[in-house]
Amino acid sequence: MASGGGGGETLGGPRVLVVGGGIAGLGAAQRLCGHPAAPHLRILEATARAGGRIRSERGFGGMVEVGAHWIHGPSQGNPVFQLAAAFGLLGEKELSEENQLVDTGGHLALPSMCCTSSGTRVSLELVAEMASLFYELIDQTREFLHVAETPVPSVGEYLKKEIGQHVAHWTEDEDTKNLKLAILNTFFNVECCISGTHSMDLVALAPFGEYTVLPGLDCTFSGGYQGLTNHIMGSLPKDVMVFNKPVKTVRWNGSFQEAAFPGETFPVLVECDDGGQFPAHHVVITVPLGFLKEHQGTFFEPPLPAAKVEAIRKIGFGTNNKVFLEFQEPFWEPDCQFIQVVWEDTSPLHDIASGLQDTWFKKLIGFLVLPSFKSVHVLCGFIAGLESEFMETLSDEEVLLSLTQVLQKMTGNPQLPAPKSILRSRWHSAPYTRGSYSYVAVGSTGDDIDLLAQPLPEDGTGPQLQILFAGEATHRTFYSTTHGALLSGWREADRLIGLWDLKMQQTRPRL
Ligand SMILES: Cc1cc2nc3c(=O)[nH]c(=O)nc-3n(C[C@H](O)[C@H](O)[C@H](O)COP(=O)(O)OP(=O)(O)OC[C@H]3O[C@@H](n4cnc5c(N)ncnc54)[C@H](O)[C@@H]3O)c2cc1C
């Protein structure tokens, strides 16, 4: 096998590989399938299933979403909403004009019930007052998008500085002030779940407003989110998807020959963990940023250019996990949708000093009440950050025990029976994900996202578009979402189609 320049395309047309069968990879394949730009197309997926971070599992008599939960901003500008509607996966309410027009500004609805960690009910008026302060401050962060210099580097520091000023004007007694701070602390933890970060101090202030919220009241898939990726996969010819094929190394800018294709040379050779080799003209990389952070040093040969390595290092990628708890009997009211937990004696203005072992659960924001399937009662807890990663190291029994104690204290009922069963995600430990989703970290900007998305090689240094980059972390305004991921896959497919069109124009005989 020789290395060097070259890489002329075959008579049969280019060979295109997509690495990763999440929604970005499937979207790219869907767009390329049947197009002359990619007559030979394969998706190499490391695991035994398609969907990646869209993962619906059977459980509790219905479907539970281990990964993506909602369509964020389900309206006409959202391609996930459009596809889901076209596949008939959404109900009447989700499709209604009224639902599509709701403008949430990206803020969560108020909880139906709020309890302190020692069992006191918190008035929903007080929660609403704190929510309105918190979201007013979050909205203010958008004003820093185009300013030359921000007062502080992170969203967290900005929020804390502003809250500190508000506190100075609070006139209530100390207990009420402390409760207000503890409620605000929960909103910080909610925001950590939304941003997929350990702390809002890690999230860059200036580019925070670049994330774009689409109109529409967030909705779910009653039959499971994975129905969407399964439908896309079903629209591809059977042999396109290759499962259990973890890619180990992407060799590029070479001139590779393969016995199966005598006389042909390829600029890229993809090598898998099992020794399998796939020559290609173009490879669309859609592996998660968490995987790239861990493996970029050995995943590409030659290594990536320094600027790309820097972008991979700088863009944030954190953890948000879910814990599903099944109960024999509900302890919540029938119309309850979200139970918020307020950890007493916490404050966004003071960090907790003790170790993770004793305090990890204090990052839990509360529990979403899942629609009950066949009288099965399930709560879904959300927890982000290092506490969430620590939780992944614990056994189900340990998590169940801690959360039972939390719930007994919260409800003021020491006899509350332990949940019947538990199911949880472990996105940080997942070897082909290594976290949940990306955010723009302090020290990075939207330019780093664009840089990550740039194809290789850089212009003029070898055959064009050998490696293309898609995936949620490559979308500048919709990062961290399924629609961002889908759009990124389409974007790279269109890039390849554009190159094909250009080549066709150049080879067309001139009259
Ligand atoms: C807990 C959680 C909740 C979320 N909630 C929402 C939500 O409510 N709404 C929303 O819009 N988004 C949500 N998201 C984010 C959303 O799921 C992702 O942004 C999106 O699914 C990412 O798609 P992707 O194709 O970029 O990556 P992925 O879905 O991660 O796909 C990448 C694929 O690459 C494969 N792969 C990795 N390494 C290799 C390798 N070496 N060789 C071959 N294959 C490899 C992986 O197995 C995977 O299948 C959530 C995510 C999580 C984790």
Q: How many residues does the chain have?
A: 511
pLDDT tens string 317-340: 999 999 999 999 999 999 999 999
Kindly report the protein residue whose alpha carbon is nearest to atom 38 of ligand 1. Answer: 432
Kindly report the protein residue whose alpha carbon is nearest to atom 1 of ligand 1. Answer: 67
Mean pLDDT of 112-136: 97
- Which percentage of the chain shows pLDDT scores above 90? 90
Omega before residue 330 within 30° of 0, cis? no
Query: CA angle, 177 as apex, 139 and 201 as ends, to 5°?
Result: 40
The predicted model scores a pTM of 0.96
Rounded to the nearest 5°, which phi and psi values hold at 342?
-115, 120
**What is residue 510's predicted lDDT score, i.e. its pLDDT?**
64
Omega before residue 302 within 30° of 0, cis? yes
Kindly report the protein residue whose alpha carbon is nearest to atom 48 of ligand 1. Answer: 52
Strand, helix or coil for residue 321: strand
Mean pLDDT of 271-286: 98
Mean pLDDT of 135-147: 94
Torsional sign, CA 387, 388, 394, 399? positive
Rounded to the nearest 5°, which phi and psi values hold at 305?
-60, 150
What is the chain's mean pLDDT, rounded?
Answer: 95
* Cα dihedral 69/73/493/440 (nearest 10): -80
How far is Cα 427 from Cα 419, in angstroms, rounded to an integer? 23
pLDDT tens string 367-384: 999 987 778 999 999 999
pLDDT tens string 453-466: 999 999 888 899 99
Distance 297 CA to ligand 1 centre (A): 21
pLDDT tens string 411-432: 999 999 999 999 999 999 999 9
| 407, pLDDT greater than 70 | yes
Distance 475 CA to ligand 1 centre (A): 13
**Hey, where are the domains in the chain?**
15-55+221-314+435-506, 107-212+320-424
Same fold, 15-55+221-314+435-506 and 107-212+320-424: no
Distance 485 CA to ligand 1 centre (A): 8
Structure tokens at 274: 């099992």
Burial of 358 (0-12, 13-18, 19+ CB in 10 A): exposed
How far is Cα 340 from Cα 117, in angstroms, rounded to an integer? 10
Report residues whose beta carbon is within 6 angstroms of any ligand 1 atom.
19-25, 44-47, 52-54, 67-70, 72, 246-247, 286-288, 291, 320, 322, 425, 427, 432-433, 436-437, 471-472, 480-482, 485
Pair 228, 23: CB distance under 8 Å: yes
pLDDT tens string 72-104: 999 999 999 999 999 999 999 999 999 999 998
Residue type, 192: C
Pair 65, 56: CB distance under 8 Å: yes
| 3, pLDDT greater than 50 | no
CATH class of this structure's domain 107-212+320-424: alpha beta
Kindly report the protein residue whose alpha carbon is nearest to atom 12 of ligand 1. Answer: 481
**pLDDT class for 135, splitting at 50, 70, 90?**
very high
CATH class of this structure's domain 15-55+221-314+435-506: alpha beta
Question: Which residues 6+ apart lie within 8 Å of 216 measured at CB?
Answer: 71, 73, 74, 75, 78, 81, 99, 100, 101, 102
Q: Tell me the DSSP string of 435-476.
A: SSEEE-BTT--HHHHHHHH--BS-TTSSSTTSEEE-SGGG-T
**pLDDT class for 43, splitting at 50, 70, 90?**
very high
| 9, pLDDT greater than 80 | no
| 396, pLDDT greater than 70 | yes
